[in-house]
Structure 1
Amino acid sequence: MAGRQGAGGGSPFGDPDAAVFVISVAAELTGLHPQTLRTYERMGLITPGRTGGGGRRYSQRDVERLRQIAELTASGTGIEGVRRILELENQVDALAARNGELVDENEHLREALRQAALRLRAAQAGEPASGAPSSGGRLPVLRRPDPGQSMVVWRRGR
């Protein structure tokens, strides 16, 4: 299709942000007039990429956004309403990404806490730092009990 170009001969379709469509192709894909695309750009609703010579290049993500704008305006939403909807969607996307980061961080912290708790229990029991019970039939190092406390020592059967 005219207006597509890929770097190094690779397909541009793997990257939805690759600016590959000239304005006439983007207009055809969205069903909008090229002048409408220019107007949306002036209003800040869309920001296409530019070639070295200043020509507009639209990405697949730009085309999807233009289709969304067209659907919203066709359903009676005014341009300021469209602008607000797009802003809110961007906020939702940013919050979802941050939430994912926090979930990952929380999982890492839980694992670190679990490992620290295992090391603490092992240290309190006199076991090796790995948290694994001592092997080879050796008894763990015992601390002197406080006066008035009882201590039972046994050896695990083989």
Structure 2
Amino acid sequence: MATEDLIERILAAGDEPSASVIDALHELLDDTAIETSATPKSVAEAARLLGLSPHTLRYYEQEGLVRPARNASGYREYSAFDLRRLIFLTRMRLSGMTMQDLKRYIALVEQGPSTVPERRRIMLDQRDRIVRQIRELTLALETTEYKIRVYDGHPEG
């Protein structure tokens, strides 16, 4: 399932995404949606699958966040692992995680299991930022809804 399809399913689910949508998200980040045995993807194929530009994929590589292998001709080949990491990176960027925090997080991942407590702390901090963003966006939505009611001649309702 392409990430854009998943995003559309989640957004269409409204305030309470169904268990199947959440399961689909977990599946996408797990080995089952992007098969570990799948053939590696070229930059163009990976970009299309993830809904990103090839430039973005190269940028993440330049920043050391993903390291696709190269084939005998020197072309990038994105493995299932690379694709799952890119999905994670794009979701975190969308949620406002800084590149500095992402680099720190990926460096910790690459250091192994001993860094789990620090990685967990980073994710807890990110969750707090996301919750705050949601509250701020909810306030912005309420303000917008109020203005729409005013323009419809019903400010009190």
Which category describes the TM-score, using the shorter chain as reference length?
0.3 to 0.5
Larger Rg: 1
| Structure of greater relative contact order (alpha carbons < 8 Å, 6+ residues apart) | 2
- Structure showing the higher helix proportion among its residues: 2
